[in-house]
Amino acid sequence: MTKSFYIAVIYLVVILLVLDRMNTGQLFSTGDVRAEVSRSLVDHSNVSQSRFQYNSSTSSFSSQYLINSIDRFEWYRQQMYSNLNIKKPETASNISTLYAYEFEHEITVTTTSWKRLGYRVYCRYVDRNDLEIGEPFESFTYPEYIVACKKRKGTRKIGLSVGKNGEFQPIPIVDRMLKKPKYELSMCISAIYGSEPKWLMFIEMIEHFKMQGVQHFYVHIFNASNYDLRVINDYVRTGELEVHYLIERDSRTDDRWQKVNIADCLIWSRLESKWTIFADLDERIYMTNYTGTILDYVREVKNEDVASIQFRQQWIMKTELMPEKYEGEKQIDTWMPTHRWHNSSGIGSPGHTAKCIIDSSKVFKMFIHRPTQFFPSLNRPYIQKVVNPEEGIIRHYRDQNLGSWGRKWLKGILKFGPFRNTNYPERLIGKLTENVKRRIKYVYR
């Protein structure tokens, strides 16, 4: 008697928990990719059915299967044909996947294969018993590093192959069938590689952007030292940072990873964050005479046509490599980039190596310095807003020697005006220094 009563209670609790999982987008810690993946795997078919009827007014993109009144996969194909000026995609020699994301109307798979733009690949669907579901779906790599796959009921994992029945490695699927973005403002940090010590540059960057209202960070790591990974992993621990690791399966120079980083970040942040900053470790975007944070600023952008907000550059000459290891508080006061370097160029012309904050659900193709193609909009075309330097700017602590920057680019920068000393804002540097020291002491003391 009592036994069956307890069973009934437990049954009820389980049902309630399952319903709760299906209805909240916020249940899992934000830093945990695995948790998100498993959420998308739990009763996947039911979740997608219930979400399918969701009538979104937060994003016109997410609620429309059609793009520009035609089937979205057909629209992608047309873009590939006309932008690449090809008649038919060729068969890829091989394809390496990165991550997969499930949206309302498609599963988007990102890839790492270099020089594999506009090639034919097949989406391969796997169910909860690891059995393939149905015929492979023919798709293609467009835009670069991105493959759109049709949705298929019961899919638990997805893979890509180059031949219709060729081999493939299925990967889990990140849930992006969110009712609304989890974050208002996040940041996608450029891929980490190279041998310069990163720990201090990394901490200052994160702490700076947190003070500007950034709620979440995405980063790709190709290579980092164990010492730098200690603090990178600590930001993962506190749920502020998510990491995707890059593995080289072709051969390219390290700086070629930047475009993989941007393509994967475009999809990774799409609909999870309303606004996403795409910038480098050594860039500090801040508001000049606008009184407020970057978050305050983007909140004031009420025009839904604005899909990108572009900032102009000011280069601050970074003349030394960053210190290898933490040696005490005094070192931080002298070596934080915002304390150490002041010799500044004039302000770059609009668009010149600029950086943007985008609504990635409205951007079809993203480049390092700006979106190169917006999605067609239901109403007026999407637009980019250029922030004038009286409101906000990027302080770019550019190393003079890495990538021979000084030799290659300095001349071009001189035309923007004479060099003079400028400072990171007085009103922010105290708090920034305090926050940087707090994190450093937690990790490296």
Q: Which residues make up the interface to ligand NAG (CB under 6 A)?
A: 18, 43, 45-46, 55, 57, 93-94, 195, 223, 225, 249-250, 288-289, 317, 343, 389-390, 410, 419
Considering the complex, state which of residue 42 and residue 383 has its C-beta at the smaller distance from ligand NAG. 42
Give the DSSP per-residue string, 196-265: S--HHHHHHHHHHHHHTT--EEEEEES---HHHHHHHHHHHHTTSEEEEE---SS---GGGHHHHHHHHH
Contact 175, 294 (CB under 8 A): no
**Does residue 278 sit in helix, strand or coil?**
strand
Please, what is the minimum distance in Å from the beta carbon of residue 344 to ligand NAG?
Answer: 8
Please, what is the minimum distance in Å from the beta carbon of residue 153 to ligand NAG?
Answer: 9
Considering the complex, state which of residue 223 and residue 233 has its C-beta at the smaller distance from ligand NAG. 223
Considering the complex, state which of residue 135 and residue 250 has its C-beta at the smaller distance from ligand NAG. 250
Please, what is the minimum distance in Å from the beta carbon of residue 46 to ligand NAG?
Answer: 4
Please, what is the minimum distance in Å from the beta carbon of residue 195 to ligand NAG?
Answer: 4
Give the DSSP per-residue string, 43-105: THHHHHHHHHT---SS-HHHH-SEETTEEHHHHHHHHHHHHHT-SSPEEPS---EEEEEE-SS
CA pair distance 47, 40, nearest whole angstrom:
8
Residues 6+ apart with CB under 8 A from 328: none
Please, what is the minimum distance in Å from the beta carbon of residue 218 to ligand NAG?
Answer: 21
**Does residue 155 sit in helix, strand or coil?**
coil
Helices (H), 351-392: none
Considering the complex, state which of residue 8 and residue 17 has its C-beta at the smaller distance from ligand NAG. 17
Considering the complex, state which of residue 172 and residue 346 has its C-beta at the smaller distance from ligand NAG. 346
Please, what is the minimum distance in Å from the beta carbon of residue 63 to ligand NAG?
Answer: 7
Considering the complex, state which of residue 82 and residue 418 has its C-beta at the smaller distance from ligand NAG. 418
